[in-house]
Amino acid sequence: MRERQVIAPEELKRQEEICARVMERVTADGQRPLAMVDTYGCQQNEADSEKLRGYLALMGYGFTQDEFQADVIVVNTCAVREHAEMRVLGNVGALNHSKKARPGQLVCVCGCMVQQQHMADKIKHSYPVVDLVFGPHELWRFPELLDRVQTKHRRVFATAPSDGAVAEGIPVRRDGKVKAWLSIMYGCNNFCTYCVVPYVRGRERSRLPEDILREARELVAAGYKDITLLGQNVNSYGKDLPEPVDFADLIAMVNDIPGDFRIRFMTSHPKDASEKLFQTMAACEKCCHQLHLPVQSGSDEILKRMNRGYDSAKYLRQVALARQYMPDLVLTTDIIVGFPGETEEQFNDTLRLCEQVRYDAMFTFIYSKRVGTPAASMPDPYTREEKQVHFDALTALANSISLEKHAAYEGQTVRVLIDGETGRDEYNLSSRTDGGRLVHLKGDPSLVGTFADVKITASSTWALYGEITE
Chain residues in the site for ligand 5AD (CB under 6 A) = 80-81, 194-195, 294, 296, 334, 336, 365, 367-368, 370
Phi/psi for 237 (5° steps) reads -55, 135
Q: Which option in ligand 5AD, ligand SF4, none does residue 165 bind, with CB closer than 5 to 8 A by kind? A: none
Counting contacts by CB under 6 A, is residue 198 touching ligand SF4? Answer: yes
Q: Which of 74, 197, 266, 439 binds ligand SF4 (CB under 6 A)?
A: 197
Cα torsion through 377, 380, 384, 389, rounded to 10: -130
Which residues contact residue 315 at a Cβ distance below 8 angstroms, ignoring those fewer than 6 apart? 270, 293, 295, 353
Q: Could you give the CA distance from residue 125 to residue 117 in angstroms, rounded to a whole number? A: 12
Q: Which stretch binds ligand SF4 (CB under 6 A): 15-23, 112-120, 194-202, 203-211?
A: 194-202
Which residue, judged by CB position, is nearest to ligand 5AD in the bound state?
334
Q: Could you give the CA distance from residue 298 to residue 354 in angstroms, rounded to a whole number? A: 8
Q: What is the DSSP letter of 236?
A: G
Rule CB under 6 A: which of 239-258 touch ligand SF4? Answer: none
From the CB of 189, what's the least distance to ligand 5AD, in Å?
A: 15
Counting contacts by CB under 6 A, is residue 374 touching ligand SF4? Answer: no
Q: Which is nearer to ligand 5AD, 281 or 337 (CB)?
A: 337
Distances (CA, A) of 181 to 47, 256, 293, 343, 431: 6, 18, 18, 38, 17
Half-sphere exposure of 30 (CA within 13 A, CB side): 0
From the CB of 290, what's the least distance to ligand SF4, in Å?
A: 18
Half-sphere exposure of 277 (CA within 13 A, CB side): 26
From the CB of 312, what's the least distance to ligand 5AD, in Å?
A: 16
From the CB of 404, what's the least distance to ligand SF4, in Å?
A: 28
H helices present in 231-343, as ranges:
247-255, 275-283, 300-305, 312-325
Q: Which is nearer to ligand SF4, 132 or 353 (CB)?
A: 353
Q: Which is nearer to ligand SF4, 293 or 441 (CB)?
A: 293
Counting contacts by CB under 6 A, is residue 150 touching ligand SF4? Answer: no
Q: Which option in ligand 5AD, ligand SF4, none does residue 367 bind, with CB closer than 5 to 8 A by kind? A: ligand 5AD
Counting contacts by CB under 6 A, is residue 78 touching ligand SF4? Answer: no
Q: Could you give the CA distance from residue 370 to residue 215 in angstroms, rounded to a whole number? A: 35
Q: Which is nearer to ligand SF4, 226 or 240 (CB)?
A: 240
From the CB of 163, what's the least distance to ligand SF4, in Å?
A: 15
From the CB of 189, what's the least distance to ligand SF4, in Å?
A: 8
Q: Could you give the CA distance from residue 95 to residue 194 in angstroms, rounded to a whole number? A: 31
From the CB of 461, what's the least distance to ligand 5AD, in Å?
A: 20
From the CB of 375, what's the least distance to ligand 5AD, in Å?
A: 7
From the CB of 201, what's the least distance to ligand SF4, in Å?
A: 8
Q: Which stretch binds ligand SF4 (CB under 6 A): 178-186, 195-203, 419-427, 459-467?
A: 195-203
Half-sphere exposure of 167 (CA within 13 A, CB side): 20
Distances (CA, A) of 452 to 127, 221, 429, 467: 50, 20, 12, 10
Q: Which of 190, 255, 279, 399 binds ligand SF4 (CB under 6 A)?
A: 190
Phi/psi for 373 (5° steps) reads -90, 155
Q: Which is nearer to ligand SF4, 339 or 359 (CB)?
A: 339
Number of residues that bind ligand SF4 (CB under 6 A): 10
Q: Which is nearer to ligand SF4, 232 or 290 (CB)?
A: 232
Quick one: 369 exposed, middle or buried, by C-beta within 10 A (0-12, 13-18, 19+)?
middle
Q: Which is nearer to ligand SF4, 15 or 267 (CB)?
A: 267
Counting contacts by CB under 6 A, is residue 295 touching ligand SF4? Answer: no
Element (H, E) at 292: strand 290-292
Distances (CA, A) of 392 to 332, 337, 338, 387, 458: 18, 10, 12, 9, 26
Q: Which is nearer to ligand 5AD, 44 or 402 (CB)?
A: 44
From the CB of 333, what's the least distance to ligand 5AD, in Å?
A: 8
Q: Which option in ligand 5AD, ligand SF4, none does residue 433 bind, with CB closer than 5 to 8 A by kind? A: none
Q: Could you give the CA distance from residue 215 to residue 220 in angstroms, rounded to a whole number? A: 9
Nearest alpha-carbon partner for 229 in 168, 183, 280, 166: 183
Q: Which option in ligand 5AD, ligand SF4, none does residue 81 bind, with CB closer than 5 to 8 A by kind? A: ligand 5AD
Q: Could you give the CA distance from residue 139 to residue 110 in angstroms, rounded to a whole number? A: 8
Element (H, E) at 212: helix 209-221
Q: Which is nearer to ligand SF4, 39 or 232 (CB)?
A: 232
Which residues contact residue 80 at a Cβ distance below 8 angstroms, ignoring those fewer than 6 apart? 41, 42, 112, 195, 196, 197, 368, 370
Q: Which is nearer to ligand 5AD, 59 or 302 (CB)?
A: 302
Counting contacts by CB under 6 A, is residue 232 touching ligand SF4? Answer: yes
Q: Which residues would be at the binding site for ligand SF4 (CB under 6 A)? A: 188, 190-192, 195, 197-198, 232-233, 269
